[in-house]
Amino acid sequence: MFRTHHCGQLRITDVNKTITLSGWVAKRRDFGGLTFVDLRDRYGITQLSFNEEVNADLIQHARQLGREFVIKIEGLVTERSNKNSKIPTGDIEIVVHSLQVLNVSLTPPFTIEENTDGGDDIRMQYRYLDLRREPVRNNLILRHQVAKHVRQYLDQLDFIEVETPVLIKSTPEGARDFVVPSRMNPGQFYALPQSPQTFKQLLMVSGFDKYYQIVKCFRDEDLRADRQPEFTQIDCELSFVEQEDILRIFEGLVQHLFSQVKGVEIVQLPRITYDEAMTWYGNDKPDIRFEMKFNYLTELTKGKNFPVFDAAETVLGICATGCATYTRKQLDELTEWVKRPQIGAKGLVYVFCQADGTFKSSVDKFYTQEDLAEWAKVCNAQPGDLLLLLSGDTKKVQKQMSELRLEMGERLGYRDKTVFKALWVLDFPLLERDEESGRWHAMHHPFTSPKPSDIPLLDTNPGDIKANAYDLVINGVEIGGGSIRIFDKQLQAKMFKTLGFTDEEARYQFGFLMNAFEYGAPPHGGIALGFDRLCSLFGGADSIRDFIAFPKNNQGRDMMIDAPSTIHSQQLNELGINLLGN
């Protein structure tokens, strides 16, 4: 037997018990005739004590223990004279009677501690050691907890988890598929699913009524920061529901998760439309942990001979509370910040709302105190606040101002990772036009249903159609999205046509779904939540990478196992393929 207890278990009430522990040597401290070892396992740390006077041989043995050696000890639980209130086992230590080295260890390439000295690359290469660090392990334990509570909530509502296939059919639309050559069907390929979208809709046609799955999905994209080629999603679909039903059920899920995982009670989620989100935040996933809404100053700023504002389609202002203390240097730096190519503003206009009720601005040449007072009033600014103005084409300036708003929120400490604000964004446009090709693309996916009253616009003005589509946004991050689906074959066919599919393409790619819709498809809709992202949000982290046990780097490479890799030419032959240029 390797242990009677684990390393996080023993308490003052266990004193005088003879116990067996196994674990890793986290630290060894040698004093005169005493040696202390911190023994670590998943559950905690327990201090072992060796005393030269009690057992000289044993302390000699203990003094040969290196970091990360795996040992098994037997000993007596004893009250510590020098208690450590920082760890749950800090009241006791083990006076060791016997010590067995189960395995030795080389010195790890970085320290296995909360704050490690290892860089990103070395920690990825030795991921199995990085995972030994408590914060990384805790991330994965959190992930397990989130999954458990997701299932608990959905199970209790009669959802059924159904596994959909991983080897499916390639669909050239959307992101790039990973493909898998079929040996038994030479020249043919499976694809890995970007999502189980069509399968979950088929399950609705099958009458499963309420489906969910926590499922791996795959996307062969050029990896931007914090994208992974394989990722996990909480995928759900329901029949005989309207948008309101789905919002209500998944609002409940969000509340359940925050309550169970974080101990935070979330009230009813606010709802805003896509148009409102763009108007007030310039962003379809607004961070509403702070206000700082956009103010439209276009009319107020016109006709005062300031050519920049006179020429602008839109002038936007936000109020940065208490920032009238900003120095010239800070404002110059902020101006440079908005002029970076990533933001792309031409310049930044500012107005100090001074303590004495007067105003001082970068455009004093053009505007009177009364003008500026009017702006301040619209922006609800008080003495001590700072107004920041950007101008230009509406869509562009909204986007720029959104970035500035988030940056100011960050600088002002409004984006506290321990505060959570969720909301629904509703009524997304059904379609968006690709500027280059002029083609319409589905904003969510081609199965999203238009608002019934907007259906006639498919023939006249597709860009104006709103969809029965919704996003769940938490702290400015899109955690999930979904829609009520088209369940009528004719409407689906029309949708494919609008998206530029020929009948043949539509039939080739989605024929099975169109066929299924011939046999009594129920009204249905669903949602998919990004599970990795949700976990990183709960964990208060920006990156999803540390919430994935074995992530890949930005080249899609697993640095630990060194994959992908070359394969034998015989294997290629069996698959009926060869490498280009060979």
Interface mask (CB under 8 A) for a copy of itself, residues 265-284, using x and -?
--------------------
**Nearest distance, CB of residue 234 and a copy of itself, angstroms:** 13
**Nearest distance, CB of residue 276 and a copy of itself, angstroms:** 26
Nearest-angstrom CA–CA distance, 345 and 337: 9
Residues 73-132 that bind a copy of itself (CB under 8 A): 102-106, 108, 126-129, 131-132
Residues 6 or more apart from 417 whose CB is under 8 A from it? 475, 540
Q: Pick the closer one to a copy of itself by CB: 399 or 524.
A: 524
Are 148 and 257 a contacting pair, CB within 8 Å?
Answer: no
**DSSP readout, 161-210?**
E-PPPSSB----SSSPPPEEE-SSSTT-EEE--S-SHHHHHHHHHTT--E
Q: Pick the closer one to a copy of itself by CB: 203 or 469.
A: 203
Q: Pick the closer one to a copy of itself by CB: 42 or 97.
A: 42
Are 194 and 229 a contacting pair, CB within 8 Å?
Answer: no
Strand positions, DSSP E, 193-254: 210-218, 230-239
Interface mask (CB under 8 A) for a copy of itself, residues 152-171, using x and -?
---x----xxxxxxxxxxx-
Name residue 190's beta-bridge partners: 180
65 binds a copy of itself (CB under 8 A): no
Residue type, 223: L
Residues 232-251 that bind a copy of itself (CB under 8 A): 232, 240-242
Of 470, 447, 499, 397, which Cα lies nearest the Cα of 244?
470
551 token code pair? 């992530």
Stretch that binds a copy of itself, among 445-453, 476-484, 537-545, 568-576 (CB under 8 A): 568-576
Three-state DSSP at 353 gives strand
**Nearest distance, CB of residue 77 and a copy of itself, angstroms:** 19
Stretch that binds a copy of itself, among 47-55, 134-142, 246-254, 399-407 (CB under 8 A): 134-142
Q: Pick the closer one to a copy of itself by CB: 105 or 335.
A: 105
Return the residue of 12, 56, 141, 355 that touches a copy of itself, per CB under 8 A: 141
Q: Pick the closer one to a copy of itself by CB: 374 or 558.
A: 558
Return the residue of 148, 302, 340, 395 that touches a copy of itself, per CB under 8 A: 148
Return the residue of 172, 357, 463, 540 that touches a copy of itself, per CB under 8 A: 172
Strands 160-161 and 210-218: parallel
Sheet holding 210-218, edge to edge: 160-161, 210-218, 230-239, 524-530, 477-484, 469-474, 422-426, 271-273
Nearest-angstrom CA–CA distance, 209 and 203: 8
Of 392, 327, 141, 153, which Cα lies nearest the Cα of 249?
153
Are 471 and 285 a contacting pair, CB within 8 Å?
Answer: yes
505 binds a copy of itself (CB under 8 A): no
Nearest-angstrom CA–CA distance, 573 and 554: 30
**Alpha carbon distances (Å) from 136 to 188, 240, 310, 469:** 41, 42, 54, 35
Q: Pick the closer one to a copy of itself by CB: 217 or 401.
A: 217
Residues 453-492 that bind a copy of itself (CB under 8 A): 487-488
Are 7 and 48 a contacting pair, CB within 8 Å?
Answer: no
Return the residue of 182, 279, 298, 335 that touches a copy of itself, per CB under 8 A: 182
Number of Cα atoms under 13 Å in the Cβ half of residue 168? 22
Q: Pick the closer one to a copy of itself by CB: 475 or 536.
A: 536
Stretch that binds a copy of itself, among 177-185, 274-282, 424-432, 443-451 (CB under 8 A): 177-185
Q: Pick the closer one to a copy of itself by CB: 55 or 206.
A: 206
Stretch that binds a copy of itself, among 136-144, 295-303, 429-437, 498-506 (CB under 8 A): 136-144
Nearest-angstrom CA–CA distance, 38 and 84: 12
CB neighbour class for 558 (10 Å; exposed up to 12, middle 13-18, buried from 19): middle
**Nearest distance, CB of residue 575 and a copy of itself, angstroms:** 7
Residues 406-445 that bind a copy of itself (CB under 8 A): none
Q: Pick the closer one to a copy of itself by CB: 137 or 411.
A: 137
Phi, psi torsion values for 378, nearest 5 degrees: -60, -40
Q: Pick the closer one to a copy of itself by CB: 83 or 128.
A: 128
**Nearest distance, CB of residue 175 and a copy of itself, angstroms:** 12
**Nearest distance, CB of residue 186 and a copy of itself, angstroms:** 8
Residues 315-334 that bind a copy of itself (CB under 8 A): none
- The helix or strand, by DSSP H or E, that contains position 73, with its residue range, turns out to be strand 70-79
Return the residue of 29, 144, 340, 497 that touches a copy of itself, per CB under 8 A: 144
**Nearest distance, CB of residue 93 and a copy of itself, angstroms:** 21
Interface mask (CB under 8 A) for a copy of itself, residues 194-233, using x and -?
----xx--xx-xxxxx------x-x-x-xx-----xx-x-
53 token code pair? 């006077």
Residue type, 539: G
Stretch that binds a copy of itself, among 28-36, 292-300, 374-382, 520-528 (CB under 8 A): 520-528
Residues 7-46 that bind a copy of itself (CB under 8 A): 22, 24, 40-43
Phi, psi torsion values for 101, nearest 5 degrees: -85, 115
